[in-house]
Amino acid sequence: MADMELSSLGLDRRRVLLGGAAVLASPFLLTRRAFAAEGGSPLPLPPLVDADGSQPVTLTARAGNHAFVPGTRTPTLGYELDYLGPTLRVRRGRSANIDVVNRADDQITAHWHGAHVSGNMDGGPQTAFDPGQSSAARFDVHHPAATLWYHSHVHGKTGPQVYHGLAGFLLVEDPAVPHGLPSDYGVNDLPLVVQDRSFDSAGRLVYDISGMALMGGFLGDTICVNGAVTPVADVPRGLVRLRLLNGSNARFYDFAFADGRRFHQVASDGGLLPAPVARSHIALAPAERAEIVVDFSADTAPVHLVSAGIAQGGMMGGGMMGGNAGSGGAIEIMTFAPGTAPATGPATLPASLPAPPMDFGAPVRTRDFRLDMHAGSMIGSMFSRLIGSSGSIMGINGKSYDMGRIDAELRAGETELWRISAPMMTHPFHVHGTSFQVVSRGGQRVDPATEGLKDVVVVDGRGAEILVRVDQQADAATPFMLHCHILEHEDAGMMAQFTVA
């Protein structure tokens, strides 16, 4: 589907009151691009930091000043860096050792997204801490090899904090289980966080969730990778592993290459697949990850990574919008420039991979979770938000998030079947503290061998079913979250919390 034309919503209170119904019937609108951000600069690579040594690694959240394009800087946030954070690497069987320090001007957390950790180490909204304070992350790494990430998770502020840069990669290695994949960080193993951002006429970041940006989630009009606008990455002529993270607040992507080439997916959110899976495109919702391996051995010209022009899920139960990413509606993500030197990594992919076990067993109970837009009071709630009063417009099972309420109580090690529904639009549904197995999505059964373990599942009007087993404990003081990962929906109350005993 072609990318939506961007237009300025520009709503004041009077216009909303006179035309609220028309606004809700319109496509999701974006802030008009006011700054021509030219891409093509070299791909930035976040520094790789081992976070499982005897001495703690310091991760300082602070204000920064970042150049998304050369010559123009904008106020941002970052962990240690002006924008985003270093790539933290931990190893299975060892302990993470991280001190998170708050030098920002508001509360922050560091949520270890996808990590199998206890509730008190998860970094959820209950653990937010003030400027000048610090938090010690000490947890044993039980997770199999995987591409995870971290980001701030303060209730009501996750959207703007992640948008301005409080996020980074968390890579888990398992030295005991060789995989035979490219693994030279920054050379043939590249972390790529893809985000959409908007800028004003001076090149400063714009984040405005008035009007439909609150309903559908904020959509930027400029694609950035690792904090650079449509950058260029020098790669060897051989196999290259791309760790794709959809780090956008609300935008869905369907990645492909402009020349239509095939590649192999080797990992999903929760770790490696049992074997490489050949694909021509791969769709990722907000917070989803995928590791793919691309063969550049025969290339001498630049190779372009693109996406279908996807904004978000359709309203009223429609499926996730998609399309042919090689069509005229494609949007540019970044470019790869194969060099003259041959690759130093493996020349071929292994036939099989050491995937983590996916046998969850039979569920002992079933739970239903409905992702609500509160349609009956949506317009009134939107008015309240725009005129400055409180009041949530999103919820789960008819209830907006309440930090003092426990919505579900689980028992450690028990498998449950969760049925998730989304009556009004498509949502990426995330569960803290564990990985799950997708049973069905959109009314279709899912092959676990090609899906892998997940911590985010896309739920449209036809629903999804997942098998969930949580082995880590979480009490009422520091429960786990389940929520939509469109960050504006999460901030507006589409989140619940559960304990594990």
Same domain membership, residue 314 and residue 435: no
Can you give the residue range of the structural domain that contains 458?
A: 365-500
Cβ atoms 361, 35 nearer than 8 A: no
Tokens found for residue 492: 């507006």
Per the domain annotation, does 10 fall within a domain?
no
CATH code for position 249: 2.60.40.420
Domain end (from 288, 309, 342): 342
- Residue tagged 């540019």 (tokens): 332
C-alpha to C-alpha distance for 282 and 255, rounded to whole angstroms: 5
Amino acid at 309: G
Per the domain annotation, does 179 fall within a domain?
no
Amino acid at 386: L
Confidence band, pLDDT 50/70/90 cuts, at residue 19: very low
Residue 113 pLDDT > 50: yes
Confidence band, pLDDT 50/70/90 cuts, at residue 315: very low
Cα 155–Cα 159–Cα 163 angle in degrees, nearest 5: 140
Same domain membership, residue 334 and residue 195: yes
State the sign of the Cα–Cα–Cα–Cα dihedral 225, 231, 234, 237: positive
What are 263-290's pLDDT values in tens digits?
A: 999 999 999 999 999 999 999 999 999 9
Residue 383 pLDDT > 80: no
Confidence band, pLDDT 50/70/90 cuts, at residue 9: very low
Same domain membership, residue 475 and residue 332: no
Q: For 435-458, give the DSSP string.
A: -EEEEEETTEE--HHHH-SBSEEE
C-alpha to C-alpha distance for 384 and 453, rounded to whole angstroms: 40
Same domain membership, residue 495 and residue 411: yes
Per the domain annotation, does 382 fall within a domain?
yes
Average pLDDT, the chain: 87
Per the domain annotation, does 321 fall within a domain?
yes
Cβ atoms 77, 61 nearer than 8 A: yes
C-alpha to C-alpha distance for 28 and 314, rounded to whole angstroms: 10
Q: If you compute the radius of gyration of the chain from its CA atoms, what whole number of angstroms results? A: 21
Per the domain annotation, does 184 fall within a domain?
no
What are 389-446's pLDDT values in tens digits?
A: 344 689 999 999 999 999 999 999 999 999 999 998 999 999 999 999 999 998 899 9
Per the domain annotation, does 12 fall within a domain?
no
State the sign of the Cα–Cα–Cα–Cα dihedral 465, 196, 153, 377: negative
Same domain membership, residue 150 and residue 230: no
The H-assigned helical ranges of 355-421 are: 378-386
C-alpha to C-alpha distance for 194 and 227, rounded to whole angstroms: 8
Sheet holding 464-469, edge to edge: 395-396, 365-372, 415-421, 464-469, 436-441, 444-445
C-alpha to C-alpha distance for 410 and 498, rounded to whole angstroms: 7
Tokens found for residue 231: 């950058």
- Residue 8 CA to chain centroid, in angstroms? 26
C-alpha to C-alpha distance for 117 and 244, rounded to whole angstroms: 23
The number of folded domains in the chain is 3
Same domain membership, residue 312 and residue 212: yes
Q: For 101-139, give the DSSP string.
A: EEESSS-B--EEET----GGGS--GGG-B-TT-EEEEEE
Cβ atoms 194, 223 nearer than 8 A: yes
What are 126-160's pLDDT values in tens digits?
A: 999 999 999 999 999 999 999 999 999 999 999 99
Q: For 56-88, give the DSSP string.
A: PEEEEEEEEEEEEETTEEEEEEEESSSSB--EE
Using the 8-state DSSP alphabet, how is residue 433 labeled? Answer: S
Same domain membership, residue 266 and residue 203: yes
Q: Residue 49: count other Cβ atoms within 10 Å of its Cβ.
A: 17
Same domain membership, residue 426 and residue 287: no
Domain end (from 124, 141, 173): 173
C-alpha to C-alpha distance for 46 and 85, rounded to whole angstroms: 7
Cα 311–Cα 312–Cα 316 angle in degrees, nearest 5: 135
C-alpha to C-alpha distance for 405 and 395, rounded to whole angstroms: 13
Per the domain annotation, does 353 fall within a domain?
no
Per the domain annotation, does 162 fall within a domain?
yes
Quote the crossing angle between the two packed helices 13-25 and 378-386, to the nearest 10°.
Answer: 140
